[in-house]
Chain A
């Protein structure tokens, strides 16, 4: 859910690895980020809308990844996928580290590019610069 830079990359990579992938975005223009050889399904719709998720085939999905720009939208859709549609594996991107920590305690697996990015760059600083 969410076909920005991250979403399109996840979609293309998983598709390339042979998985059956559907990429959902409310803006059809965004779906053009997917490479030409993408074999999966492109779906237009709001991931917070159960009907749009059903059209995208949420009932048959083994995993759901929410990577729109909105932390709250991602959380809402992730809970919808998990609680209402029973998707086994749900991963939710949450940019705000404090919200990420709380959501993580509410049964949703979360990833924060903010804390992960900050930690990685600090670690890089502690290593000598590559020649």
Chain B
């Protein structure tokens, strides 16, 4: 996934370091101070660019519309709010803001923006814990406008505790395979009950992703309207 971190201070830097050692994340830090960019750029292998992430043109230049996550972790809450708002307006499915002053958390909540306290670990914990949950991973494009997607069920998923037949799936969608949390694959049958941690491999029309998300992940995750 492509992740943009706005703010290359301590929090942004450690966050980037951790995320780079992780999975196949593609990462970009946007930092205002060119001195700071030089400082951390070497250590992070060039994944840092100079710019003010509050500027829509800077975010556009960074390819924000293809980012899966934008984390705004500058030291200014008003900047973090604006960065998240612009990113979300550009269609980023998940935005996360560091809140420096806890009093400001209420406004972020009103605006529907996920927040975290400044500690890097807390942000990481939130990302790693929630990313697989909120994400539906497109696996493969098939013929006739169909695609193969993988969806991991969290315990808040409306599908948990039900059989695949009881779920209201979009037209022409089919649960093809279930891989449980232990990695054991099963073909779904009439007596199958879905549990949290199951990964569902689903064949569906590409245009019905939103409906599929609602059925399998629930309506409250993500803000991609």
Chain A residues at the B interface, C-beta cutoff of 8 Å: 48-51, 70-73, 75-76, 79-80, 83-84, 96, 98-99, 102-103, 105-106
Smallest CB gap from A83: residue in B: B110
Given A83-B110, A83-B111, A84-B107, answer yes or no on A102-B86 (Cβ-Cβ < 8 Å). yes
- Alpha-carbon distance between A99 and B85 when the two chains are bound, in angstroms: 10
A104–B224 Cα gap in the complex (Å)?
19
Q: List 12 A-B contacts (CB under 8 A).
A: A48-B77, A48-B104, A70-B78, A72-B54, A72-B81, A75-B78, A79-B81, A80-B107, A84-B110, A98-B56, A102-B89, A105-B89
Which secondary structure characterizes the binding site on chain A? helix
Shortest Cβ distance from residue B156 to the other chain A in the assembled complex, whole angstroms: 25
Asked if A76 and B55 sit within 8 Å, CB to CB, the answer is no
B82 at the interface (CB under 8 A from A): yes
Chain B residue with Cβ nearest A107 = B111
Nearest B residue to A51, CB-CB? B103
Given known pairs A79-B107, A83-B107, A105-B89, the reply for A98 and B77 (CB within 8 Å) is no
Instruction: Name the CB-closest residue of A to B106.
Output: A84
B112 → A minimal CB distance (Å): 10
Q: Please, how many angstroms separate the alpha-carbon atoms of A83 and B81 in the complex? A: 14
Since A79-B111, A99-B82, A102-B86 are in contact, a sample of 8 more A-B pairs with Cβ atoms closer than 8 Å, ordered by chain A residue number, is: A49-B103, A51-B103, A70-B78, A72-B79, A75-B78, A76-B107, A99-B56, A105-B89
Q: Which residues of B contact A49 (CB under 8 A)?
A: 103
By a CB distance below 8 angstroms, the chain B residues around A71 are: 54, 82
